[in-house]
């Protein structure tokens, strides 16, 4: 029987794998294609990839700090993105694996009972397991948008389905 901790670790492993599949698929795009405003999500592929990366990074930081910012700040990406120059695709490919590994290590080190512990802020709180699940779900949503943008560019997107992950991870 799978424990909740193992279940979350599996979902984080899936998310890291899917991120890498998508980064690899985008490595053949031109700079213009990466930056083209495709009127989706965060306008284009590179900006959307940065958004996923920044969000995973900030949630990892908040988990380690064991605190949430005020609710009004939670979704304000201006507060947690990099100053210009922001990472290009190569920079994301270099930095993102450490964030994914950090999330995985956080879950592995967390006692099972602490998954239900509340991560608190001034005006909100959420159980740790729900925040971790949100992180995976948020990334999945935006990866799907990048896949759609790849199709708009006439490219063949990678298969990032969780079923496929379980087939290759087995």
Q: In which domain, by residue range, is 72 found? A: 4-169
8 A C-beta contact, residue 29 and residue 155: yes
**Confidence tier at 136 by pLDDT (50, 70, 90):** very high
Alpha-carbon distance of 146 to 40, in angstroms, equals: 9
Say if residue 170's pLDDT is above 80: no
d(Cα 19, Cα 165) in Å, to the nearest integer? 11
Q: Output the pLDDT for position 75.
A: 87
Q: Are 28 and 154 in contact (CB under 8 A)?
A: no
Contact status, residue 99 vs residue 59, Cβ threshold 8 Å: no
Report how many domains make up the chain.
1
Cβ-based neighbours of 58, under 8 Å, separated by 6 or more: 80
pLDDT tens readout for residues 18-37: 999 999 999 999 999 999 99
Q: Encode pLDDT of 51-103 as tens digits.
A: 999 999 999 999 999 999 999 999 898 899 999 999 999 999 999 999 999 99
CATH of the domain at 77: 1.20.120.450
The band of 148, judged by pLDDT with boundaries at 50, 70 and 90, is: very high
Say what the pTM is: 0.96
- CA nearest 153: which of 42, 53, 40? 40
């Amino acid at each position: 029987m799978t424990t909740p901790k193992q279940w979350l670790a599996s979902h984080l492993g899936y998310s890291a794998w899917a991120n890498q599949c998508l980064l690899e698929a985008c490595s053949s795009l031109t700079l213009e294609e990466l930056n083209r405003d495709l009127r989706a999500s965060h306008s284009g592929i590179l900006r959307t990839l940065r958004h996923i990366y920044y969000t995973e990074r900030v949630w990892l930081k908040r988990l380690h700090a064991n605190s949430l910012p005020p609710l009004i700040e939670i979704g304000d990406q201006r507060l947690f993105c990099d100053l210009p120059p922001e990472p290009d695709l190569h920079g994301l490919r270099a930095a993102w694996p450490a964030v994914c590994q950090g999330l995985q290590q956080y879950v592995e080190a967390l006692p099972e009972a602490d998954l239900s512990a509340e991560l608190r802020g001034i005006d909100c709180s959420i159980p740790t397991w729900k925040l971790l699940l949100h992180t995976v779900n948020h990334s999945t949503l935006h990866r799907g948008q990048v896949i759609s943008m790849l199709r708009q560019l006439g490219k063949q997107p990678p298969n990032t389905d969780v079923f496929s992950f379980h087939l290759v991870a087995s």
